[in-house]
Amino acid sequence: MRSLLLVAHGSRRRESNEEVRRLTLGIEERAGESFDLVNCAFLELAQPTIGEGIDAAVAKGASEIIVLPYFLAAGTHVVNDIPEIVEGRRRMYPAVRIQVTPHMGAAPALPDLLLGMVPGADR
């Protein structure tokens, strides 16, 4: 069973966290049969945490978990914090394949996406 876990920073502002949850639902709708589970988790300030998100996927039977960092830049959270949390869960669940994708800001499609948001921009 494949699971996708969208990881965001988390916010004290409830509406910001709800925005991530709505995005997760949109991803789930578009993913089709690519993933059996699509959920989100937060690095801090909101629930579930990344560890809890991985735990929940494993409890539901995931044998593969793809962690997708919803971050624009490769700061400390992307480079250190998320990989450390994931590595801890890999040790807890050696039979589960857990991998971290590049962060959103590294996506080759991002420049086109951003230009698509700008009225009158040539693409």
CB 106 within 8 A of CB 75: no
Rounded distance, CA 8 to CA 43, Å?
6
Burial (CB count <10 Å: 0-12, 13-18, 19+), residue 63: middle
Active-site option among 9, 77, 89, 103: 9
Whole-number Å distance between alpha carbons of 25 and 40: 9
Whole-angstrom distance, CA of residue 122 vs CA of residue 88: 45
**77 belongs to the catalytic site:** no
The residue written with tokens 């949390």 in the block is 85
Catalytic residues: 9
